Copies of this chain bind each other. A is one copy, B any other.
């Protein structure tokens, strides 16, 4: 799955065949009077590991069986089959929906035949979609299920979007103040061409993205300027992974606080929730530009710009020191210990203090000196 090649993953290709193979196996089992069942990767905490070599959170080899004849599982089994059936239909129709839309389709179709609703809450259907993803080695996006989208980018590159029966070329360097909105699915029927940028700069806050865009930072530096607008969605994380696959260094510029660190580590090592697709969305190559507590030593004015760290910030810093994928980096141990000692934090917005354009100068200097955290 790591390369996300269209010919393998495209919805007319692999995912439809995989769903059909899945259905045929179930039918075979019924015909041969075996209880229908399937296996999925266990997504329990005990089966989630940090792959030291690859550098991201992934699932281990433990499998779990979902069986129809197990009374405790038969409802969930039936629900999963219903989901697979709907997704197969969406793929054939060549239409997409959200998991909320899927929920209502299930509510509707069962409502006609049986009295009881197949799902009363969407929270019931979400883990079953993950079961399918983990069992079939297919991502939700390949099942024509859109995830939330957020995030914007600008830079010297073109997007070739095959959409609505047309091939549309979008020039991501001609988007003015708006930028190109990163869609839910950046793999199927979409291509990125002419990516000549030297690196990707990920900026936590849209406000700072707007600041840097106005300065033409991405033009002067020839970089891709991207903001996830807070925590990165699946689509944005996948987009960053794809840039890294193209050989572009990825630098992340966030607040120096609990939320900023969390956003960074989610981009870099993936998250526990999505460890089963870790290879598709984690970017271990990412580096943290700042803002850091050690910046206080380098930029004198910052000493007057700190805010008091909140309890959440301090608790998070302490927790992070316990994560093996973080505490193996001595630079992060130093940074987090400094946070705990000073009980202060810094926002990326502070860099606008001396002058609005200082933000770009800070980033340039950091990159020139290769002054980032791993």
> CB within 8 Å of B: which residues of A?
90, 93, 95-98, 100-101, 103-105, 107-109, 111, 117, 146, 148-149, 152, 159, 161, 163-165, 168, 170, 174-184, 190, 206-207, 210-211, 213-216, 219, 301, 304-305, 347, 349-350, 352-354, 356-357
Contact = CB atoms under 8 A, between A and B. Distances in A.
B352 A97 contact: yes
| Majority SS at the chain A contact face | mixed
Contacts of A93: 356
B181 A352 contact: no
B184 A178 contact: no
A177 B163 contact: yes
A191 B207 CA distance: 22
Contacts of A98: 207, 210-211, 349
A117 B100 CA distance: 48
Contact of A210 (B96, B111, B190): B96
Given A97-B211, A97-B352, A207-B146, A305 B178 contact: no
B101 A211 contact: yes
Contacts of A163: 176-177, 214
Contacts of A357: 95
A190 B21 CA distance: 53
A179 B170 CA distance: 11
A116 B207 CA distance: 27
Contact of A97 (B111, B305, B356): B356
Nearest to A163: B176
A178 B181 contact: yes
B207 A100 contact: yes
Contacts of A103: 349
Given A100-B347, A104-B305, A108-B304, A356 B176 contact: no
20 contacts: A96-B211, A97-B207, A100-B207, A101-B211, A107-B304, A107-B305, A108-B354, A111-B301, A148-B207, A149-B206, A159-B178, A161-B176, A164-B176, A164-B216, A170-B176, A176-B190, A178-B182, A178-B183, A179-B181, A184-B210
B181 A152 contact: yes
Nearest to A206: B149
A146 B210 contact: yes
Contacts of A207: 97-98, 100-101, 146, 148
Contacts of A182: 178
A148 B206 contact: yes
A236 to B, nearest CB: 12
- Ranked nearest first, the 7 interchain pairs of A and B with the lowest CB-CB distance are A108-B353, A161-B176, A98-B207, A111-B304, A178-B181, A101-B352, A163-B176
Contacts of A177: 161, 163, 183, 190
Given A219-B164, A356-B95, A108 B301 contact: yes
